[in-house]
Amino acid sequence: MAPMGIRLSPLGMAVFCLLGLGVLYHLYSGFLAGRFAFFMLSEPAAGEPDNPRGSAPAGAVDLRELLAASVLAAVKGGEEVKRVREGNVLNAKAKGKTREGAEEQLTSGDLLSNRKMFRLLKGAFPAVQINSEERVDTADQEPVSWDRVIPDDIKQKIQPKEVPAESVTVWIDPLDATQEYTEDLRQYVTTMVCVAVDGKPVIGVIHKPFSAYTAWAMVDGGSNVKARSSYNEKTPRIIVSRSHAGKVEQVARQTFGNKTVIIPAGGAGYKVLALLDVAERNQEEADVYIHVTYIKKWDICAGNAVLRALGGHMTTLTGEEISYTGSDGNEGGLIASINMNHKALIEKLPDLEKTSHK
């Protein structure tokens, strides 16, 4: 009870209480903020993951995760390629001409596969540069998610390896061998993903949509494919583009003899698989892969990575390594081999480099 003669105003009491609360807030807010900051920045307890949200720290990319996502992207893209072809709704149209004057075809399979592959990889690794053969519609924001599950075969063979995100370039070929695709030559068609670090191809995925076969490899990591054990360096079987068979045949037979076999085929991915031990009914076998004209890097990056991982080589016709940074084209043609004397092959075929400029 208040002393006699003193009356307490309700308004005054309210003001007094508010002033008291203000003093308490001032005294304790700094303390509580400090404790909160300490909690957020403190080291995780024993047994807890350093990065509880998964994957690599900010600014870094785990190559094992990127390999797993690349395999899934190639498969998802392949599903679109197969669906369009089997539904016979290609909507094929010319998108331009090659340097040799041939019409380049564009189909719904290219576009739908590209959308799936690009969205999946960009959604999972937003900081990574992705180069694709087809343009991506920026207005199309349909998400394609990855559940971050790493398949057992990759988990067993590949160890986690982090690299700076800015050093990574991903090359997507959403439909390799589009011309053959329009002609319903399904065995040549592949979808491919390649990962280059500082311009060097380190991860390659080649997927055949119509047989569901997938080859993958990581340099200094592991693979699910291996090289064939038997090769013939004296009279090699040389696989080339269907349109280049005549250019290569004359030079090759002058060098190796008339018994040299020239194999015309479609698709760079298919041609690299021809050098490997692939359990595929419709896969031809070859000893050397040669391309004598300009070629885009998304066509060859995945195959280059697979060959490098298995100890093989893919170079220009003069033996120079191909860098997967900068422009999207390779001017110097290519020669690819595995378990062969690559340098000797280049020295035996000097006239092919001249052919690449014709």
Give the residue numbers of the binding site for Mg(2+): 133, 173, 175-176, 299
Mapped to the 3 state alphabet, what secondary structure does 136-160 carry?
A: CCCCCCCCCCCCCCCCHHHHHHCCC
> CB neighbours (10 Å) of residue 33?
10
Answer positive or negative: Cα dihedral of 161, 166, 169, 174.
positive
Whether 316 is catalytic:
no
Centroid of chain to Cα 94 = 26
> Nearest-5° angle of CA 207, CA 245, CA 212?
15
Return the structure tokens found at 112: 């739908």
| Sign, CA torsion 33/35/38/40 | negative
Question: Nearest 5 degrees, angle CA 213-CA 267-CA 126?
Answer: 70
**Cβ proximity of 125 and 116 under 8 Å:** no
Strands (E), the chain: 60-62, 93-97, 103-106, 129-132, 162-164, 168-176, 190-197, 200-208, 213-218, 222-223, 226-227, 237-241, 261-265, 276-277, 288-291, 295-296, 313-315, 329-330, 334-337
Residue 218 sits at φ, ψ, to 5 deg, of: -135, 125
Q: Which residues are annotated as a binding site?
A: 133, 173, 175-176, 299
CA terminus-to-terminus distance, the chain:
109
Q: Which position among 62, 107, 169, 178 bears the catalytic label? A: 178
Asked if 110 is an active-site residue, the reply is yes
* Residue from 110, 260, 293, 315 carrying the catalytic annotation: 110
Vertex 28 angle, CA 22 and 30, to 5°: 110
**Active-site annotation, residues:** 110, 178
